[in-house]
Chain A
């Protein structure tokens, strides 16, 4: 089955600086790669996702890049703000032959700390 590795486990950056979180996956059949933000006591919230037919996607201060050959994808957050502090998870899944998606395989998470 799919295996997703995520690093670093903890990342501390100064407010206003950029943060980068990296993930690798093992199953070349995976074609959907979402990123979730989870705050304490809450469920994961989707912040951005990318599918295997594109290499990069951007939404305001957040961007994700995908390298299918190397089987890795990264989350980039620019101009970090205190409210960006949370745990971030990457995930991967495949698409079923009849449509719909498999269950997601998650990384272990990155605790992002924004220092004021």
Chain B
């Protein structure tokens, strides 16, 4: 079946601009994660959604970063007043967690990422 998709695949913007990055999770997956990967590093956790709510946003670096998932499927990561240091690959992952203590539903499946370049 279809995997996690992310759009756009590449985004170039100027310092100070606003950007939105989109993630379409695997159909039926209720958990959705955003990560940021800088060159030569492992992905860093940003935020985790369970359904429509952000269950954990402790990884967001500052208040310029915000994410939403209004209908519990597609999610958008929003970055205001972009800075050159925001340049990275932004990865989205989804997981089939259904709640109710169902075991072993924590496997995260990643999308291809959006490469953001801030000039």
A contact set with B: CB distance below 8 Å: 4, 6, 32, 34, 36, 41-46, 49, 51, 89, 91, 93, 95-96, 98-109
Contacts and interface: CB of A to CB of B under 8 A. Distances in A.
Interface string B56-70: 100100000000000
Contact size class for B? 20 to 34
Interface of B: 4, 31, 33, 35, 40-48, 50, 55-56, 59, 91, 95, 97, 99-102, 104-113
A100 B110 contact: no
Nearest to A4: B42
Contacts, number: 79
Contacts of B43: 44, 89, 104, 106
A49 B41 CA distance: 20
Main secondary structure of the interface of B (DSSP, over half): loop
B17 to A, nearest CB: 24
B110 A45 contact: yes
B105 A104 contact: no
Q: Residue among A44, A89, A95, A109 with the most chain B CB within 10 A?
A: A44
Given A99-B99, A103-B35, A105-B45, A43 B112 contact: yes
Contacts of A108: 40-42
A75 B35 CA distance: 23
A46 B35 CA distance: 15
B97 A100 contact: yes
A92 to B, nearest CB: 11
